[in-house]
A and B are shown apart, each in its own frame.
Chain A
Amino acid sequence: MSEIRNNILNESYQLVKTDCGLQIGCYNMPGYNAVHAVFATNFGSVDRSFVMNGQRYDIPAGVAHFLEHKMFENEDGDAFDKYAKTGANANAFTSFDKTCYIFTATDKIDESLDILLSFVTTPYFTPQTVEKEQGIIGQEIKMYDDSANWRLLFGVLEGLFVKHTVRDDIAGTVESISHITDKMLYDCAKAFYSPSQMFLSVAGNIDMQTVLAACDRAGFKYEVLEVERLAEEEPDEINYTEKSINMPVSVPLIAVGFKEKMSNPVTIKEELCGEIIMDVLSGSTSKLFNKLYDKNIVNGTFEGEIFSGTDYYATIISGETAYPDVLIKEIEDAIDELKKDGIGEDDFLTSKNSMYGSMIVDFENVEEVATNIASAHFKGRTAYTALETLSAISLEDVNAQLSEMFRKDKRTVFTVMPLEEKDD
């Protein structure tokens, strides 16, 4: 067992690797009633090809998310029905790079842990249950199809990435999930859901002994499994420079994205420097935002963010605007000015102070703490890595990174325009 400590917070948590290969992080939070548990595998929507024990598997878009839905159903019933007996509030989510099964509970923690560890590691699929789920997930996909913000995000990602699977919707498409079979789900569960592939993170009113006892009761065995993820090499080029779609929205939505060249894997320093740059460029204190807001070119939806994972990194500035062309020009000018002048000391310190405060707050609620431990683990970091790295970042680091970013030929613009009015 290792103790991970942070002196700013004056707190620590424990990490354990059990005999079956399962790794556990436990963050005891005195004074809290609830426990939040995250049982996670780093199998997400970007994972579409892998080799297991010498055999190659290629899967359609949406399998990780589909699997997440189907894991809740076991031969002896539905996991939600089992959780209902403990009162736990349970759910799951799939992101680009991981799938997490979660619950929050204040009582019957042992029982809820037993349910979690059991159903996530006991796959049960039949052609009939797969077919039924295709209907439910089909509805979920259609719900997102009607979301202008969702379409905007995937529009800009499709523009930036040529081959990388991050450009595909997490849930896939109605067409892609129609190819999913029970066998395919069993193969993926075998590859990514064995205890040695997973991470269990808990936070709140709980200690490591309670978690270890639950793992003992689960009776996990160590399984020797060789799994290698395959990914097509992503070129530096982008897919398209601009694209527009029409939807029933009141004002246009626009996203300006840049494909950035960073290390592989992307480092925490690159992420933090990027966040400072985006804050200074387009955050609430930026000249750009304040000018555009008061000119009624943007509203509170305007934001700049970095979008990154292990092997992808993009910067995206987006928002609603009645004047897409003006906004694009203003963003271009602001980037040119920032790159020419560099970020100043005062802006840098303001942004760094703000990030420091936000990072402290990350340790305030049980859900966020448990989730952050799991996310950090899959990136080879601890929950404190970002906080520790931030203090070491200098203005020179940030300006050096800025000089390499926002390449004009690596830019895409995606717009969601209102439906054209029809003449009667």
Chain B
Amino acid sequence: MKRQLIAPKAHITVLPNEKFKRNRISINLIVPNAREKATMYALMPGLMERAYEDYPDMQMLSRKLNRMYAAQLSVGTAVIGANRCMRFTVQGIKNEYCINNEDLLAELCDVLLGVIFRPCLEDGAFVKDWLEVEKFKLREDIEGEINDKRGYCVKNARRKFFGDGLNGVERMGYLDEIDGITAEMLYSCYREMLDMAVVEIFITANNPDSAVEKLTEAFSYNRSAQADILPVTAVECKDVEFFTESMDTTQGKVCLVYTTKRLLTEDERYHMLVASALYGGTASSRLFKNVREKQSLCYYCAAGFNGFTSSMSVDSGVEHHNTQRTIDAVQYELKNMIEGEITDEEISQTKLTIINSLKANYDGLHGLEAWYLNEAIRGTAFTPEMVMERVENVTADDIRNVLSLLNLNVVYTISK
């Protein structure tokens, strides 16, 4: 791995790629979350990945990508803690597999830079007709979140949990703001983001030199680069609030969201990695073994800790009449871990599972990229090996102590 500063607040990281069949480039623009811009950020991906100057409509660009042996272009947006990340990615097969000896890596690079720097414009703004199409799609997406009942329950629980805080800014924006957005406003928002953002570029390629040169040159202009990545903040502890939504579903849903009483220290982050996995992150976790297998209360019951918001959510799908029993069981298992015995065997097994998944970061085309992007946003530069070493040292007391920092703020249920 080689990371270098190529311009103010712009880094390029070159990751090795001897074994994969594809090369991949991603460019991440990171700015602090802003409630008033959330809907505009949500509209950008659809508009930007459909065309750019050289291939000025959706069908032409799709055809170009298919001709490039099913190259994949994607523009996505993510909320990472209190930050917003706009990610432009392109990936395609290595040059040695091309039938006509094309330099596909160079073409991938051109497409990506074209999308970022030369979007299709009309009167100095994004194309109005396309914006109207994307507004319609965004409206459908937001209204359609109810179609996935599990995700819908978790999202609503987190909405109640985060309230108006920056961590809770909606990735998809807000329905009532869609109509008011114009092509001019949106393009201006995009230009501002490009100008201010912290830029993290990743290239996972064999023979990456010419692409690195091209990418470096593209960002070597006078950006203001005023944005800073916002640090992790935790939601304050509150008395637990219960919310119930009534819906005509076959299965009920439950989501519990916990906050930590204070921000975790560097060491505690790794304690929590082991603790949350042992509690509900693996097929041998307490929740899986006791709530699903022993009590047969549900098909799934899983816990996940989000280090960027210092919060943990547990979600489950249950028979409507078992909702309260499941909530009680989830809380009981946590209390039992804090106050009861945690065996050495359980701990060593959980560590093995985590170490396996840390090693697996090396086996996926975007595994290391995702890893180092998270590190960059967090302001650290740990390798998976460094984390493995810390995981190895976690003790039962570390697990108990870090779990005792959790406070249940919100319980959200969907039932008949």
Contact = CB atoms under 8 A, between A and B. Distances in A.
Interface of A: 8-9, 29-34, 78, 80-81, 83-91, 104-108, 132, 135-137, 139-140, 142-143, 145-148, 204, 248-251, 283-285, 287, 290, 293-294, 296, 299-300, 320, 322, 350-351, 353-358, 360-361, 363-366, 419
Given A146-B149, A320-B144, A248 B66 contact: no
B21 A363 contact: yes
Q: Which 10 A-B pairs have the closest CB atoms?
A: A87-B352, A357-B69, A357-B70, A31-B19, A84-B284, A354-B66, A84-B349, A139-B299, A284-B62, A106-B359
Contacts of B282: 84
A319 to B, nearest CB: 11
Contacts of A32: 19, 362-363
A271 B137 CA distance: 32
Contacts of A294: 58, 129-130, 133
A80 B140 contact: no
A312 B181 CA distance: 49
Interface string B322-350: 00000000000000000000000100011
B356 A361 contact: no
Give the one of B137, B298, B352 with max A CB within 10 A.
Answer: B352
B251 A142 contact: yes
B205 to A, nearest CB: 14
B248 A136 contact: no
Given A85-B345, A106-B360, A139-B318, 10 more contacts: A86-B352, A106-B359, A249-B147, A250-B144, A290-B59, A294-B58, A296-B136, A300-B137, A353-B69, A358-B70
Interface of B is mostly: helix
B90 to A, nearest CB: 13
Interface of B: 18-22, 57-59, 62-63, 66-71, 92-93, 97, 99, 129-130, 133, 136-137, 140-141, 143-150, 247-251, 282-284, 288-289, 292-293, 296, 298-300, 317-319, 345, 349-353, 355-357, 359-360, 362-365
B70 A34 contact: no
B367 to A, nearest CB: 10
A241 to B, nearest CB: 26
Contacts of B293: 78, 136
Nearest to A295: B133
B335 to A, nearest CB: 22
B389 to A, nearest CB: 15
B371 to A, nearest CB: 14
A366 to B, nearest CB: 6
Given A285-B59, A285-B63, A29 B69 contact: no
B144 A251 contact: yes
Given A361-B22, A365-B364, A89 B359 contact: no
Contacts, number: 183
Contact of B69 (A322, A360, A365): A360
A104 B353 CA distance: 10
A294 B134 CA distance: 9
A89 B359 CA distance: 12
A38 to B, nearest CB: 16
B142 to A, nearest CB: 9
Contact of B299 (A89, A132, A140, A296): A140
B66 A87 contact: no
A406 to B, nearest CB: 22
Contact of A250 (B57, B143, B345, B364): B143
Given A84-B349, A89-B353, A364 B144 contact: no
Contacts of B350: 84
A393 to B, nearest CB: 14
B59 to A, nearest CB: 4
B284 A81 contact: yes
A294 B150 CA distance: 30
Contacts of B299: 136-137, 139-140, 143
Nearest to A36: B363
Contacts of B19: 29-32
Given A29-B19, A356-B69, A365 B93 contact: no
Contacts of A34: 356, 359-360, 363
A136 to B, nearest CB: 5
Contact of A357 (B92, B136, B148): B92
B95 to A, nearest CB: 12
Contacts of B251: 139, 142-143, 145-146
A285 B363 contact: no
B63 A83 contact: no
